[in-house]
């Protein structure tokens, strides 16, 4: 079964929760924790490069990272493809690169290029028809080789009714899943789930503009996918700051050893023994 087919099967079986990763290691941790899908967060990948989520990384940089993530896990990877990195032709080329990288799905958004994080203020969006054409162009390029997810940021710019209209237009243009970004109330989530005919993806994390709704309630609403984009990275940043503080104050991180994985556990996580066995197997 291909990865897009596996993701479709998961969605058919119920709600898919996909925590966000930003490299191969964080992707492996998500898989090892038992999650059935991984979300490759463009914002987290950008911050991992030391820059904000403002569309500053190139399509090649993003596709290379997606390939590393997809290679690190067996579960489907849902990839953030921003705006497609330009017009419809750029988006077609980006979609093909991401498909070759091995991801199961991509989402494109209707912001102007370069984009902003969906929970930033002062976003700008392209016309509904321009983005529908971009969806058609990408669908024509990749067919069913990717699960195509269309994200709209129109709620913050044009209001709820216009955002719903866009979602329906994007589904008609060929999007398989709709990403309704940054609803600000539970009522908006419930109304979107009722009004949008296509399967729905929500971005839900503590501290964002969207209220965190229990998974059981989202399952009742028929939500297909919930992504949690940046929690792992935020936790990692905090842990690194704490460790650096200990090293600066004590000269080493000894006081935090009970909050770290061991050397052996680290190697188990990344599969060192498996690689060594392969090396023995194929040695001269």
Residue 39 annotated in active site = yes
**Set 92, 93, 107, 128: catalytic member:** 107
The whole-angstrom distance between residue 75's C-alpha and the CA centroid of its chain comes to 13
74 is catalytic: no
Q: Which of the following is catalytic: 31, 82, 153, 176?
A: 82
Q: Is 47 a catalytic residue?
A: no
Catalytic residue among 39, 65, 85, 176: 39
- Concerning whether 121 is annotated as a catalytic residue, the answer is no
The catalytic position among 28, 31, 47, 80 is 80
Is 276 a catalytic site residue? Answer: no
Is 172 an annotated catalytic residue?
Answer: no
Spot the catalytic one: 53, 110, 153, 176.
Answer: 53
Catalytic annotation, pick one of 31, 110, 176, 181: 181
117 is catalytic: yes
| Contact criterion met (CB below 8 Å) for 20 and 41 | yes
Q: Which of 151, 166, 167, 176 is catalytic?
A: 151
Tell me whether residue 82 is one of the annotated catalytic residues. yes
Task: State yes or no: is 242 an active-site residue.
Answer: no
Q: Which of 117, 119, 153, 167 is an active site residue?
A: 117
Q: Is 61 marked active-site?
A: no
Q: How far is CA 41 from the centre of its chain?
A: 4
Catalytic member of 47, 92, 119, 203: 203
Active-site annotation, residues: 39, 53, 80, 82, 107, 109, 117, 151, 181, 203
């Amino acid at each position: 079964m291909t990865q897009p087919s596996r993701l479709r099967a998961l969605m058919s079986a119920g709600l898919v929760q996909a925590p966000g990763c930003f490299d191969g290691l964080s992707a492996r941790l998500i898989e090892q924790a038992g999650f059935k899908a991984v979300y490759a967060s463009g914002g987290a990948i950008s911050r991992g490069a030391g820059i904000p989520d403002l569309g500053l990384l190139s399509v090649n940089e993003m596709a290379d990272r997606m390939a590393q993530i997809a290679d690190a896990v067996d579960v489907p990877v849902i990839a953030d493809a921003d705006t497609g990195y330009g017009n419809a032709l750029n988006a077609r080329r980006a979609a093909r690169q991401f498909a070759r990288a091995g991801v199961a799905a991509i989402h494109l958004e209707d912001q102007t290029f370069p984009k902003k994080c969906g929970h930033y203020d002062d976003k700008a969006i392209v016309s509904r028809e321009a983005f529908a054409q971009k969806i058609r162009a990408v669908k024509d390029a990749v067919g069913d080789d990717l699960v195509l997810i269309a994200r709209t940021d129109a709620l913050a710019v044009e209001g709820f009714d216009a955002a719903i209209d866009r979602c329906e237009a994007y589904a008609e243009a060929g999007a398989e899943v709709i990403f309704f970004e940054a609803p600000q109330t539970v009522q908006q989530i419930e109304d979107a789930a009722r009004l949008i005919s296509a399967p729905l993806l929500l971005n839900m994390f503590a501290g964002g503009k969207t209220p965190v709704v229990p998974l059981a309630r989202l399952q009742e609403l028929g939500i297909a996918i919930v992504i949690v984009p940046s929690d792992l990275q935020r936790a990692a940043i905090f842990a690194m700051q704490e460790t650096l503080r200990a090293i600066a104050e004590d000269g080493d991180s000894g006081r935090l050893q009970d909050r770290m994985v061991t050397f052996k556990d680290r190697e188990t996580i990344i599969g060192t023994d498996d690689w060594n066995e392969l090396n023995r197997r194929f040695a001269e």
